[in-house]
Structure 1
Amino acid sequence: MSETRKQSRKDSSDSNPVKSVGSPTPLWSPTSGLPLQNGLYTDARFPVQNMPIQTDLVWKRPKEICPFPQFIADGATRMDICQGELSDCWFLSAVASLSLNPSLLNHVVPSGQGFQQGYNGCFNFRFWQYGEWIEVRVDDRLPTRNGQLIYLRSSNKDEFWSALLEKAYAKLKGGYNALNMGFPHEAMADMTGGVTEEFMVPPDHRKLGSFLRPLLEKGALINCANSRGSVEKSNEFGILFRHAYSVTGLETIKTKVGSVELVRIRNPWGKAEWEGPWSDKKGVEWNMVSAEEQRRVQRIQQEDGEFWMSLADFCQNFETMEVCHLSQDTLSESGIIKPWICTSHHGQWLPQQGPPQYSLTLLEEDDDPSDPELTCSFLLALMQKCARQRGMLFPVALHIYKTRSERDASQLSLVLSTTKDLGYVQRRELVFRGRLAPGHYIIIPSTSEANQAGEFLLRVLTEKVNKSVAVDARGVDSSSVAPPMSPRLAGLLSANEAKDLFVKHCVKGPYCSPLDLYNLLTEAIAKGIFAGSEKKLSLEHCKSFVVLMDSKGMGTTRLDRVPGIGGKNSGSGR
C-alpha cells in the first residue's frame, strides 16, 4: 500500500463528468449524440499518452478479443478481478470489496450495458468525488499484447466489466500510469462515498473476531496488508509485503473436533495464496470439515486468489487494516443495517479570516451496553478538495469544543483535538473517531498556517440522529458569537497586571504568538491568579486560542483577545 506517485489528476474536462445524484438507474443507451466512427464510439479524451507500457501495445475492442464478449457474465463477483501489469492492487482490492455489495456495485457499474442489442462501443461508470456522484464515459478499446489484456481482467475471458471499470477510473485519475501505486482508502472513497479509518491489527486474536464481525454485518469494506518487508516480496507463508488484500468474510466453521472461526481473504492477483493452516494448498485442517459445511461457506479449493485462515494467523501475518464505513445514502437499498447517519459541509479556508465553525448537537446515546458512560459515537472526516490539482496538501487538524448551547459560543472548553496524538497532518482526508456525552459542541477544521486558501468537505457521521450545522449558516449574526475560550478560566487579571505580563512575554509589540501566550499563561498560573483552572495548560491549547482569535491571518492575536487577559469577551475575533 505504497504512496501514490504524484500525478496530474484530471477529473474535470478529461473525465467528461456528468453529475448524477440519487438512486442508481441504468445510464446506458445508444445515444445518437456520441461521436461515432464506423458506428462505434471513440473516446478522444482518454489520456493515452500516460501509459506505463507503449511497446507492442494494441488497442482492441472486446469483439476483437473474443467472439462472444459479455459485459457481466453470471453476476459480478470478487472472482472477476485479476491483476494485470499495473501496480494497482490498491484499486483492485477496493473493487473486490465493492463486489460484495450488489446494490453499491450497481451504482458504480450501472446495469443495462452490454455488447448485444444497441451496442455502440460506449460504457458509463460512476465515481464519488467530494460529495457528488459523477459519470465517467469511456469507449471499450482496451490495451492488449498478443491479443490478450495486459491490465485488469476477469477470470472469465469473455467478461469485461472489471477491465472497463479500471479504464474509467484511469481516465478519472489522468491515465493508466496514475494508477501505479496508491492507497486502498482513496479508491474505496471514490467508489462508495464512504469514510475510511486505518487500524493496526490487534495482537490478541480474540479481539479480532469481535472487531470484524459487526463491521462486515454493517456493510463495511475492509482491506489488510503486511508492511514488514519489501514490495511484493513474501513471507514464509506466501503473504506478500506491502500488498493490499480484501477481507471478504468471517465464518464459524464446524469441524469434527469443534468449531473454529476463520476469516476469508482475497488476493486481487487471483493467485499467490496463503500457504499455512487452512490454506487451499496445504490446509489438511479442511479434512475435518464436511463437504456440506464447505459448500455452506462457499469454500473452493483452487488457485483463485481466495483463501481462509484462522484469526490467530491473521494477527501474525497482517499488520494494518483499512475500514471503509458506508452511510445511509449508499446503503439505503442494500437491506444492511445502516451504521452511520451522515451530514456533509462544503467549506473553505480564506485568507484574512478565522477558520470556519460547525456546531454539533449530540442528542441520542449509543445502544452499547458495554459503555458505562452512555456516550455518543461519531466520525469526523475532513477531506481537502482538488489537492492533487493544487499540487500540495495542507497540514490540517480538527478541534472540538464543548459549549453551553447551540447558539451560545461564548464559553467553550477544548475536549478533543487531533493534534494531541497526530499534530497537524498532510492527508487527503483526516478521519477522527470520538465519543462524547450528549450535549452541544463546536467543530473547527484548521490549517497549520494562516492565510492558506483552500476548499474542503467536512463529513459528520453519527450512529443516531444528531444535528450538525455550519455556525454561520444558521442565520446567526457572526458578530454576536463570542470567540471561543478554552479552557474557561475563573479569574481575570487587572489591566496593569495583564499589560506587564504581555510586555514581558510578547516581543512582537501588540501581537502575541502561541509560544508567547503559553509562557504568559504559565507564569500567571504559577502566581495563583488562575486558581480553579481544571485543565493543564499546553502549547496546543494556546495554538487553538490564537487560531480562533486571529483576525488578521498572521498566526498571532492581540492583547485584548487573550482569554481572561484583556477582558473584552464580547468580541467576535474576526
Structure 2
Amino acid sequence: MASLSLYPSLLHRVVPSGQSFQKGYNGCFKFRFWQYGEWTEVQIDDRLPTQNSQLIYLSSTDKDEFWSALLEKAYAKLKGGYNALNLGLPHEAMADMTGGVTEVFTVPPDHRMLGSFLRPLLQKGALINCGNSKGPSEKRNELGILFGHAYSVTGLETVRGKYQDYIGSVELVRIQNPWGNTEWEGPWSDKKGIEWNMVSAEEQQRVQRNQLDDGEFWMSLADFCQNFEIIEVCHLSEDTLSVSTVKKPWKCTSHHGKWIPQQGPPQYNLTLLEEDDDPSDPELTCSFLLALMQKHTRKRGVLSYVALQIYKARSERDFLTPWDLSQLRPVLGTPQDQRRELVFRGRLAPGHYVIIPSTSETSQEGQFLLRVLTEKANKTTAVERPGVDANLIPPPMSPRLAGLPSVNEARDLFVKHCGKSPYCTPLDLYNLLTESIAKGVFAGSEKKLSLEHCKSFVVLMDSQGMGRLDLIEFQALWEKLRKWTGIFMTFDKNKNQTLDYLEIPPALTAAGIQVDEFIVQLISLRYTEPDMTVSFPGFLFLLMKLDYMMRKFQSFDMTGMGVISVNCRQFLHMTMYN
C-alpha cells in the first residue's frame, strides 16, 4: 500500500475516489483488485475488528484516517479472511493491486551492477520492494534495518559533494519504510549521516532530501548490497501507469488462452519490431518480459508445472507442427516451474518468433493469461491451428504414469517413515523412496538409489536451510519426482529401467530444460553409469540438480543477459549445499 500511494493514479484505481464518511455515506465502501487480467470490485461494510477500542490489524498514525484499514478488509475478503494475509511476499499483493508483472531477484554482491539494474526500472515506473530475511522477523540489525520487513525503493541519484578541495560524486538510493519511522542509521542517514555536510543545500534540495523521522532515507549502493538480500519488482505498462514523469513504461499485449487435452499447447506469434534505445547493447536487441499466469488455481486446487519456449518463426502466421518442433531447438526457454505466474525476461533481435506456453497437466483443461511486455511496440497474435490432422496433434508431453505412488499415498508414507516428527530427513526419504520404488514398476532400481541422492533431494527443496523437509516441501518434491518419473518412462523405449545416451537430451527437453552438446558431455562424465546410461534414480538426481541450478541462476540474472555476479559466500552455498 505504501508503494501504491506513491502514484495517485494507481491508488485511485484500487480505492475509487468520492467515498467518505460524509456525503452519500451508507456504511458501504468499494475497492477494486486485479484478478487474471480484469479488475474485480469488492464491497465491504465499515465494521473493522478491534480490541480494547484499538484496531487489531492495519492502522494509520492519523486516528481519523481509515482507507488503509478498509482496503485491508476488502483484500482479506477477496483472499478468504485476515489469516490469509499473514506473512507472504509483497510482490503477490503488488500484482493484485496494480495489474503489473512481478519478479523476485537476489541482491548482487557488486554494487556497480545494482545501479545499472535499478536505473532503467525506475525510469519505467516499476514499483520496487526490498528486504532482508537473515535475522529475527521485525528485529533491527546494528544499523536500524528491520529483518523480514518490506521497504520501498523510490529513487536513485548521483549526488555531488565537496570535501576540502576535492569534488566527487556518489550514487545513492532512496528508500521508504512504510512504518514511517525506524530508519537507516549508517552513512548518508538522516540521523548520523555526516556525509551530507559535504553536500550543498542546493544539491540536497535537487534530490529532495528531507531530514525528518518519516521513514524515508538515503544510503549508498554498497551499503544497500550489505543490508538487503531480496529485491521484488512490479513492472507496470502504459495502460496501467499514466504518470507524466515516467519516461519509458512497458508496452504490453495480453492474451487469454486455454490448454485443451490432446490438442497440444497453443502458439502465439511474437513480432519484435524495433530494437531498444540502449547504447550499451552492441547487438541491437529487443528486451522483453513474458508472464504466464495460471487462472483460478485456488478454486481448482491445482497448481501445475508450466514452461515457456520461444522458437524462431518464418513469418508472422507461422504454426509449428510436431515435425517442426522435433527438428528445431528453442532460441530461449524456461525449465518447468510450479508457480501461479511464471515470468521470463530475455533479449532477441527484431524478427518473428513463436511463443509456446506448455503445462505438465496435459490430460486436464486449464486456463491462462499470457502477457508480453516490450520496450518498443510489439505485435503478438494467437496462431490459428491448421485444419484437424492427426499429424499436427503432438503427443502428450509427459504422461503421468504410475511409476511412483500418488501424492496422497506419499503423504501416508511420510507419516509412516517420519513417525511423530513433522519433518523428513534424508535417511527418512531414502527409506521411503526405497520402499516406493521396490513396490512399483521400477522394482530393482532401488539398488541404484543412494543416501547421497536423498541428501541432495532434501537440501535442494529445503527453503529454511535446516537439512530437512516439512510436509509441504515434501509434497512439492514428490510432485517433481512423479512428473520426472513419467518422462523417464516415456523415453525408456526398451523398458530396461535406464536411459541410453541418446535418450537423455529429448528427456531433458520434455522436462523443460534445454541443453547443448557441451552440457550433455558434462552429464555423460558425471551422471552416467560405466555403460553410458542413466539409471532411474540417477535421472531423478540429475533433473533435481539441473532444475535447481537453472532456477538459482535465473534469480541472480538481474539483467537477463545470461551473466551473474555472486560473492564467495553465495558461491559456496550454491556449490557446497546441493
TM-score, length-scaled by structure 2: 0.65
- Paired residue secondary structure (1:440): strand
Structure 1 CA distance, aligned partners of 2:390 and 2:382?
A: 15
Pairwise CA distance, 1:189: 0.6
Match of 1:143 in 2: 49
1:452 pairs, out of 364, 371, 382, with 364
- Paired residue secondary structure (2:225): helix
Give the letter for the 1:101 counterpart.
Y
5 Å-filtered alignment, 1:276-291, equals: 276-291=186-201
Moved more, 189-198 or 250-259: 250-259
Give the letter for the 1:186 counterpart.
E
5 Å-filtered alignment, 1:368-383, equals: 368-383=278-293
Q: Are residues 1:414 and 2:323 paired?
A: no
Structure 2 CA distance, aligned partners of 1:374 and 1:100?
A: 34
2:508 pairs, out of 510, 520, 540, with 540
Structure 1 CA distance, aligned partners of 2:362 and 2:243?
A: 44
Match of 2:236 in 1: 326
Structure 1 CA distance, aligned partners of 2:387 and 2:292?
A: 25
Pairwise CA distance, 1:297: 3.5
Point out the structure with the larger helix share: 2
Is the Cα–Cα contact under 8 Å of residues 312 and 331 in structure 2 kept in the other structure?
no
Pairwise CA distance, 1:220: 0.5
Pairwise CA distance, 1:478: 5.5
5 Å-filtered alignment, 1:505-516, equals: 513-516=490-493
Moved more, 369-378 or 331-340: 331-340
Deviations 1:328-351 (A, max 9, x none): 111245552342221111122233
Give the letter for the 1:261 counterpart.
E
5 Å-filtered alignment, 1:165-564, equals: 165-257=71-163, 258-332=168-242, 334=244, 336-408=246-318, 409-410=320-321, 411-412=324-325, 413-419=328-334, 423-472=335-384, 476-477=386-387, 479=389, 482=392, 513-516=490-493, 537=505, 539-541=507-509
Give the letter for the 1:182 counterpart.
G
Structure 1 CA distance, aligned partners of 2:351 and 2:204?
A: 50
- Paired residue secondary structure (2:302): coil
How many residue pairs get aligned? The number is: 411
Structure 1 CA distance, aligned partners of 2:184 and 2:302?
A: 39
Give the letter for the 1:108 counterpart.
V
Cα 1:406–1:479 shift into 2, 3 Å? farther
Give the letter for the 1:513 counterpart.
T
Match of 2:437 in 1: none
Pairwise CA distance, 1:198: 1.7
Cα 1:169–1:187 shift into 2, 3 Å? same
Deviations 1:532-554 (A, max 9, x none): xxxx9553335579xxxxxxxxx
Structure 2 CA distance, aligned partners of 1:515 and 1:314?
A: 50
Give the letter for the 1:462 counterpart.
T
5 Å-filtered alignment, 1:37-186, equals: 95-186=1-92
Is the Cα–Cα contact under 8 Å of residues 101 and 334 in structure 1 kept in the other structure?
no
Structure 1 CA distance, aligned partners of 2:84 and 2:53?
A: 24
Structure 1 CA distance, aligned partners of 2:489 and 2:317?
A: 29
Is the Cα–Cα contact under 8 Å of residues 101 and 219 in structure 1 kept in the other structure?
no
Is the Cα–Cα contact under 8 Å of residues 253 and 261 in structure 1 kept in the other structure?
yes
- Paired residue secondary structure (1:261): strand
5+ long unaligned stretches in structure 1: 1-94, 486-510, 525-535, 546-574
Deviations 1:148-201 (A, max 9, x none): 323222232222222222121111111211110111111111111111122222
- Paired residue secondary structure (1:166): helix
Structure 2 CA distance, aligned partners of 1:288 and 1:517?
A: 75
Cα 1:407–1:298 shift into 2, 3 Å? closer
- Paired residue secondary structure (1:322): strand
Pairwise CA distance, 1:108: 1.4
Deviations 1:13-53 (A, max 9, x none): xxxxxxxxxxxxxxxxxxxxxxxxxxxxxxxxxxxxxxxxx
Pairwise CA distance, 1:399: 1.3
Structure 1 CA distance, aligned partners of 2:91 and 2:69?
A: 20
Structure 2 CA distance, aligned partners of 1:481 and 1:112?
A: 59
Structure 1 CA distance, aligned partners of 2:251 and 2:391?
A: 28
Structure 1 CA distance, aligned partners of 2:184 and 2:494?
A: 56
Give the letter for the 1:451 counterpart.
S
Pairwise CA distance, 1:228: 2.3
Deviations 1:204-235 (A, max 9, x none): 21222222122112210001111323433333
Cα 1:157–1:391 shift into 2, 3 Å? same
Pairwise CA distance, 1:471: 1.6
Cα 1:352–1:314 shift into 2, 3 Å? same
5+ long unaligned stretches in structure 2: 396-487, 514-578
RMSD, matched Cα:
3.0
